[in-house]
Amino acid sequence: MSEQHLINRSTGKINDIPFNEILSCSRFDIGFKLAYLRDFTNGIVEPSNAKEQYIEHIRILTSGEFEELGSNKSGVESYCNSFESLYNSINENCFDKNKGLVPINQSNSLINGAHRATILSYLGANIPVRVIEHESLDYSFSHLSEMGMNQKQLDLAAFNLVETFNNIYIACVWPSSINKVSAIESILDDKIIYRKELKFTDIGKKNLMLHLYPKENWIGSVEDGYKGLYNKIFPCFENKSSVVFYFIKGESLNSILKIKEAIRAVVKKGKHALHITDNASESKLLARTILSKDGLEMMNKNSNWIEISNLEAIEDKGIYSNTCVLFGVKYDELLKIKYNISDLRYFHNYPFLSSEVLNRAGLGLKNLDKATSKEKLANILLKNKAVLKWKSRDFFKKIGLFYIIYNLYKRVK
């Protein structure tokens, strides 16, 4: 549908709205656009998995034609080049309202201009919109799944939505509530952005609970193996293994709490019915784990606890300044290790490290700059006795700790 045709259906309302408001269950495709944009702005070039998935979702949305009515885009490279050029233009010169407002309907669902809206959302800017009379398009995760997008691809989009939008909460519906899933989904309704069901081992159940309740006194301590968690695990899981995660849009924490109470009233399991994250930081940290194949594998298999002391805070990433406990990491399947970590440095979403950063970490490495490849850097860190195996690195990258540099005090075989 051409832009001019949409303008003709305008209600006359023109507004600047916060980017969070365009988040909609019907526009899950925004996640693929965000993934590509994140790789592009971080300097990740060919081959880019995010770019491949962006192209695949465009193929589905255009029925394989790679053409858009009312625009000069035609072909794969045309879409990619147009998106990159548009980002550079908006990033350098801001968004020019005179070149076209973003059309949305009265439910704040995008009707056109998804690439413009994606860029403004990525930049955290308000979106100039024109409200038109139009039904919502169906680019939901369920529709894209039916059209051929696989679980890994959908996870990528969901991950990027959570990383960008601060009004996504994650509801963990425990096995104790599974027989009420239909009623739960009726309550959540059009707030559901994404749904994923995962199975947990006994170790995984404990790690998941530890991940969700790290600051609660009742969980116990690293010394007693967090035995207090079993008082939560048994009534929530009831000897079952599947947890359903719903990524939901929330107007505020108060609105989410009302949803939680409504579900508890239906399930009649009290606090053992479900858990919902309280803020964007918790949602991001949880998403980085459950949307990661490596993260889920480590959660289900590793029982060696890590205690990290004096960890500096990145509040908006959900990492706490006081003692923080993460589930176990093995850098060798044959060697069990207990870590006592100090002087930890972490870097979030930073593709390369500078020599200044490394020197600050006490490694004293020279002749390194932002052009240093990840592979070369990893080798250098390993030679300097940093415990940095590929699986651990990739996993910690997903939960916000891009490179881990620390002193190893004790090994327990």
pLDDT in tens, 258-276: 999 999 999 999 999 999 9
Q: Quick one: pLDDT band at residue 9, thresholds 50, 70, 90?
A: low
* pLDDT interval class at 168 (50, 70, 90): very high
**More confidently predicted of 10 and 269:** 269
pTM: 0.76
pLDDT band at 294 (very low <50, low <70, confident <90, very high): low
Q: What percentage of the chain has pLDDT greater than the value 70?
A: 68
Residue 12 has what pLDDT? 58
Which structure tokens are listed for 100? 């076209």
pLDDT for 194 equals 98
For residue 25, what pLDDT band results from cuts at 50, 70 and 90? very high
- For the segment 2-28, the average pLDDT, to the nearest whole number, is 76
Most confident of the ranges 127-131, 218-222, 299-303 = 127-131
In this structure, which amino acid lies at residue 313? A
Q: How far apart are CA 291 and CA 280, in angstroms?
A: 16
| 383 — pLDDT class (breaks 50, 70, 90) | low
Looking at residue 395, its pLDDT comes to 40
> Percent of the chain beyond pLDDT 90?
52
Tokens of 264: 């508890």
Give the pLDDT confidence score for residue 158 in this predicted structure: 97
Q: How confident is the model at residue 78 (pLDDT cuts 50, 70, 90)?
A: very high
Helix 230-237 and helix 202-212, axial crossing angle in degrees, nearest 10: 110
Mean pLDDT for the stretch of residues 87-108: 90
pLDDT of residue 96: 85
How do beta strands 306-308 and 324-326 pair? antiparallel
Distances (CA, A) of 77 to 52, 73, 74, 85, 374: 12, 9, 8, 12, 28
Segment among 142-156, 222-236, 377-391 with least mean pLDDT: 377-391
Instruction: Please give the pLDDT value at position 373.
Output: 55
Poorest-confidence range of 2-11, 346-355, 364-373?
A: 346-355
Indicate the SS3 state at residue 169.
Answer: strand
Confidence (pLDDT) at 408: 25
Name the band, by pLDDT with cuts 50, 70 and 90, for residue 252: very high
Query: Is the per-residue pLDDT at 388 higher than 80?
Result: no
Q: Which residue has the higher pLDDT, 53 or 322?
A: 53
pLDDT digits (tens, 9 = 90+) for 301-358: 766 554 433 233 323 333 322 223 333 332 222 122 222 222 223 332 233 333 443 4
Instruction: Compute the distance between CA of residue 317 and CA of residue 314 in angstroms, rounded to an integer.
Output: 5
Report which residue type is found at 174. Answer: W
The runs of H, that is alpha helices, within 268-389 are 280-290, 293-301, 355-360, 374-383
Confidence of residue 48 (pLDDT cuts 50, 70, 90): confident
More confident residue, 354 or 370: 370
Tell me what the mean pLDDT of segment 40-55 comes to. Answer: 83
Residues 374-379, mean pLDDT to the nearest whole number: 54
Mean pLDDT of the chain: 76
Mean pLDDT of 53-67: 93
Closest CA to 233 of 269, 210, 206, 273: 206
Pairwise CA distance, residues 198 & 383, whole Å? 37
Output DSSP code: residue 111: S
Cα 248 to its chain centre, rounded Å, is 13
What pLDDT score does 113 carry? 93
Q: At what angle do helices 114-122 and 30-41 cross, to 10 degrees?
A: 50
